[in-house]
A and B are shown apart, each in its own frame.
Chain A
Amino acid sequence: MSELAQSSVAELGRLLAAKQVSAVELAELFLARIDAHRDLNAFLDVRPEATLAQARDADRRRAQGETGALLGVPMAHKDIFVTREWASTASSKMLEGYMSPFDATVVEQLRTAGMVCLGKLNCDEFAMGSSNENSAYGPVLNPWDKGAVPGGSSGGSSAAVAARIAPVATATDTGGSIREPAAFTGITGTKPTYGRPSRWGMIAFASSLDTAGLMTHSAEDAALVLSSMLGFDPKDSTSVDRPAEDCARDLAKPVKGLRIGVPKEFFGAGLSPDVEQAVRAALDVYRGLGAEIREISLPNAALGIPVYYVVAPAECSSNLSRFDGVRYGHRAKHHGDLADMIKRSRAEGLGPEPKRRILIGAYVLSHGYYDAYYLKAQQVRRLIADEFQRAFTECDVIAGPVTTTVAFGFGEKAADPVSMYLADLYTVPGSLAGIPSMSIPCGFGDKGRPVGLQLMANYFDEARMLGAAHQYQLATDWHKRVPAGF
């Protein structure tokens, strides 16, 4: 059965269609694996009865003649998506045990497609972090090296897929929260265009950046599941009014003649040699496949970090104001008047990283500083987005490293928030522009830890990006490597 656990979503779908396995059997298999690997701390809430009820439902639907590539395939949700059947905490003490009365749109979409939810995945508190060390429920371990972080904020999602305790997981990316953990755990992490997946039911961190996406074994799986997640949602005003599409349509397209832009700024002083080597080797693979590798320049990309750490905290400081202990969530047991109740509830319920960002955000929005910080940051953000548009006149996709280093160890950066923030150096520009981008495994670096290759494409060009990733994965087997013991 352990071989079954290594199967991709596409393979599981075929096995289910051929009646070689049932949704209930798959659910039981993965629930057992989740239980066996509790030490990873990837899951925050597992309710076998709820999972098995969904699996039985999927089997019934199939018996009634329903087909569908995802019908009965297990998956898990990052605990940023609200769910009716599992607690929705955003990994915060503030929302401990919180049960949402509704499902996020993405949750609903995958449920409609017949996927079976295994439970909720750990992450950095309110998706703020790059190592998953900021979870109120403890860190997640990297299956490749339990002394290393799995990346963040979607660390539970990355670890679960890397350890094959879930074949696919949802994740969210605000400044790199899908791509960085995917790179650190040797899996495929995909962030589509901002506004394509709905944000309804995603616990907001930075509304203008938050994007739902996926952690998968492969680009093929990402294309398959993503096709069910896009499309206009009238409940989200920033949702793009475009029909859903088949993201797998370009998978078979050869990359011969594909123009791959490589930003020279992504290979500067901060990049460690082991990562650079693996990334350059990956570019050679593309060259060998007939792609045209071109150097491009994104001169303002380096401003991404300061811009991001103004815009994201500003939005977060406002988004997290609703957690006041009045209507739901943590309320301080001892308090004075109403104002004191709100203060104490927030002081107790929110962790240090959300507090830090709320302070930064409140500062940059405050009277007299708004123009110098927030407004200026938005102007530079526009420059960065424009820069990508110019780049995409010269190339079809952009490739480069995801991170400066391989996964770091626990505690290595926790004491120095700025060095932690710099982990997002290569991922933040794509987030600020809102373009689709992804990380695919391309080898191993120091201490045998995985390295990711970042691919970016223009707005709504997910299919082309996934096609380029799939062609690489046809030529390599990095994405099939599984950490020892899993």
Chain B
Amino acid sequence: MKRICLLTLIVLLCVASLASAAPVKVTLWHSMGGDIGKAMESLISKYNAEQSAVLVEPVFRGTYPEVLNAAVASARAGTAPTCVQIYEVGSRAAIDSGVFVPLEELLQPGEVDWDDYVDAVINYYRVGGRQWSMPFNSSSAILYINADLFRKAGLDPADPPSTFGEILEASKKIVASKAAPYGITWPLHTWFVEQWMAEQGAPLVNNDNGRTDRPTTIYTESPEMRHVFDWWKELYDEKLWINPGVEDWDQANALFMGQQVAMEITSTSDVTFLTNAGRDAGFEVICAKLPVPDDVSRVGVVPGGASIWLVGNKPQAELEAAKKFLIWMSKPEQQVVWHQSTGYFPVRKSAIDLLDDEGWFRKNPNFRVALDQVLETKASIGTQGALIGRFQEVRTILEEAFEKVMGGASVEAALRDAKTRVERSFSDYNSLF
């Protein structure tokens, strides 16, 4: 009898502990590979260890477009994850897919203090007055300088080039002094063109950068766009800019680390990586703001990176759990860790204060540059960033336009042709609605 009592007790205890410990499972599909991926997963295991109500399972699903495609396809098949990391330019397509639920709909009033989020980020991810997703990893484009090569070329790394004209001048000196075979590089990527349009306060596409309605045309014939392409062509023609390949971030980094160039423009998400790589290779890396066209007052940058979205057709308990997790991920403490281990800038103002108190920016001025540029960004249609359904197609078309310029076509002809192609892509897309 005693035995039976004991057994019953044990069974009861087990059942009770199981019932209380059965956490709600939340899956997250993301695109963070390599070291950044490890940083992401360690944040998530910290969350899983801290509490027992929610168990988050991160899954690396390849590049940003792949993740978005896979998520929409799996949602139609009924096997979607709970949350999906979607790159900034996938926002329009994500909304149009009808698969995701606006984060705002799940929030109690005051549950998230949106005022504490960096303005530029909120401006980007707020679409049609609604907060669709949780901002997580944000970046912008900055200039990286090899200070040793700069000194060798007789340039002052403490006074980095800040305009298109100064980049030209500095590159010429670098090449002429044989400090490096080329002056500068950046991936042949439309993202940079988008940034330079924003710095001039110019929208990329019509209908207020696609914010009031889906766009029908692109401003490739605007003086702002011409300015960027003309300068880029001049750098290429004079063999001052080296082409690392279309959207080839790694090759651009390789050229900078291999000291084939003295300057590189790339994402802030590489601050940690490039600063360390420079130290390992024996040169000092200094970061500076993105150079802008001459005689233009800086308007600001468009935050790149990604945010995390919730799939709509899920049990309420799972969505609630996912929401809790997303709120936790964007808390200042986590944003501090995330920023320090990657270089993505914190999306919370209070996270920036925490970093300041810690003295982080005094010790790591390179990180400060990346952040200042974002904080100083003025709200405008240009810096809000364009919303385009098939954004990647637009990027490809503009990249091909520059490749045609490198092949000898005139900037005017290449951009005119690009405009026709983009308009056709827009009209095809818009015919779906």
Q: Do A and B come from one complex?
A: no
| Residues of A near any B CB (own CB < 8 A) | none
